[in-house]
Amino acid sequence: MSFLNKIFGRGKNDAVDKANKSAPAESPLIVPRDQHTLSRSQVSPQALKVLYGLKDAGFEAYLVGGCVRDLLLGFEPKDFDVATDASPEQVHKIFKKSRLIGRRFKLVHVGFGRDVIEVATFRAPPEAEQHIDQQGRIMRDNVFGTLEQDAWRRDFTINALYYNIRDFSIVDYTGGIADLQAGKIKLIGDVETRYREDPVRILRALRFVGKLSLTLDGETETHIAALAKLLLDIPAARLFDEVLKLYLSGKAVETHQLLVKYGVFAYLFPESARLIAAAPDSIVARLLTRALENTDKRIQEGKPVTPAFLFAAILWGPTSERWLRYQNNKIPTIPALQKAANEVISEQVQRVAVPKRFTLVTRDIWLLQIRLTMRQGKRGFRLLTHPKFRAGYDFLLLRADAGEPFEELAQWWTDFQFAEESEQQKMVNGLAPEPKNKKKRRRRRKPAAKKVADAPVVDKA
């Protein structure tokens, strides 16, 4: 991969040859400052302050993880992580604006507001059996260690590169530089053990493939399908965090394809995965792809994206399937959709804990699909003021785009929104009258026996 060559500014590098031949190296590969392209000017001022603060207090300080990897690859890092030999308490003492966080492993967050720099003390690998459960999962790993130990306990070789603030060199214990040059994502150590220790590494591996356009190294790839089921043991809250990272990376289309290809999607969204596997070219599959394309585009344009919309798209398959089934079972259209939505969401959040503030909006987006078909009288006007109108309308466009028969309805709403009021009134007047409901006979005495006699009728656009 040509863009990797620029890691090294000048010609051939003996140390890299050595790492290529004998990774993992016993002693680290050290790439001096003049032989790589990572420069201080690319590092955020806050991160530099933290690095120098630690150094000036007599400690070791390194940038590590995704930021080093991304800078060497020419991407802008999402955040800057610092590793040090100072204990969390010592770090906290050095920086006034800092706080200790974390239960499983203590970390320090320096600086508040938008730019938080996470500072972690070098960590030792989990000490053999006592911290490992029956599945091989790490239960506790809070033992401080050396830089070398810290490198080996990390997930992938390309995530274990350290930028030393003392001499601006890059320190590589695990062969990360060579793998970065080869464009390989490779787990450190025994692959099966490392996936078992923390199955979320499966999601991370696929996320990095999607996001960085690298490829999975042999065993790092081959064990995924067989071990993906271990994701069932991961708490739903953690899976929610990971799902957001997977789908909001700006490369959701690629990443989603990888999740499907390796059978991982089924452990995150079982119902949706079942439908997509049964009919990969179906309307709901297309709708999801379109939604992901839009998400990527919005992220690239720096526009906000709401997870609620993403989940509305991912879960529309199972929801619309049930909606139809319930309507066929004579449940009126609105209660049928409400029932379908409630069931799908409550089953799904047990797997991926989407917080209520998002699922409420997801539900709104779905229910608006009915309301958008009811435009007569004042309804159309009222709907424009609905707080989630825009999301509901966007979702309708998506459905039309994916092949549902809503082209005309979507166009009507597009025109209606931007028309003058008099024009809007004309548009409403021009609508075909809603099919009349059968006349109700007023019964004064008896309370209504059937509550749902007058289900709203969905007009066909």
Q: Which residues bind ligand ATP (CB under 6 A)?
A: 65-66, 78-79, 81, 154-155, 159-160, 198, 200-201, 245
Q: How far is the CB of 338 from ligand ATP (least distance, A)?
A: 37
Q: How far is the CB of 329 from ligand ATP (least distance, A)?
A: 45
Q: Which two tokens stand for residue 314?
A: 């991912």
The residues that touch Mg ion, with contacts defined as CB under 5 A, are 66, 79
Q: How far is the CB of 25 from ligand ATP (least distance, A)?
A: 18
Q: How far is the CB of 81 from Mg ion (least distance, A)?
A: 5
Q: Which does 154 bind (CB under 5 to 8 A by kind): ligand ATP, Mg ion, none?
A: ligand ATP
Q: Which does 201 bind (CB under 5 to 8 A by kind): Mg ion, ligand ATP, none?
A: ligand ATP
- Based on CB atoms, which residue is closest to ligand ATP, 155 or 364? 155
Q: Which does 125 bind (CB under 5 to 8 A by kind): ligand ATP, Mg ion, none?
A: none
- Based on CB atoms, which residue is closest to ligand ATP, 177 or 397? 177
Q: Which two tokens stand for residue 243?
A: 């799902």
- Based on CB atoms, which residue is closest to Mg ion, 79 or 254? 79
Residue 82 Cα to chain centre, angstroms: 23
CB contact set of 202 (below 8 Å; sequence gap of 6+): 195, 224, 227, 228, 230, 231, 262, 264
Q: Which does 85 bind (CB under 5 to 8 A by kind): ligand ATP, Mg ion, none?
A: none
- Based on CB atoms, which residue is closest to ligand ATP, 137 or 339? 137
Long-range contacts of 277-286 (CB under 8 A, 24+ apart): 282/317, 283/399, 283/402, 283/403, 283/404, 284/316, 284/317, 284/320, 284/402, 285/317, 286/402, 286/403
- Based on CB atoms, which residue is closest to ligand ATP, 217 or 364? 217
Q: Which does 198 bind (CB under 5 to 8 A by kind): ligand ATP, Mg ion, none?
A: ligand ATP
Q: How far is the CB of 66 from ligand ATP (least distance, A)?
A: 2
Distance (Å, whole) CA 36 – CA 14: 13
- Based on CB atoms, which residue is closest to Mg ion, 165 or 314? 165
Distance (Å, whole) CA 199 – CA 267: 12
Return the C-alpha torsion angle 154, 156, 157, 161, nearest 10. -60
Distance (Å, whole) CA 84 – CA 155: 18
- Residue 347: Cβ within 10 Å count: 13
Q: Which does 61 bind (CB under 5 to 8 A by kind): Mg ion, ligand ATP, none?
A: none
Strand partners for 132: 138
Tell how strand 117-121 and strand 161-164 pair up. Answer: unpaired
Q: Point out the residues that are catalytic.
A: 79, 81, 155
Residue nearest to ligand ATP (CB): 66
Q: How far is the CB of 69 from Mg ion (least distance, A)?
A: 9
Distance (Å, whole) CA 263 – CA 203: 11
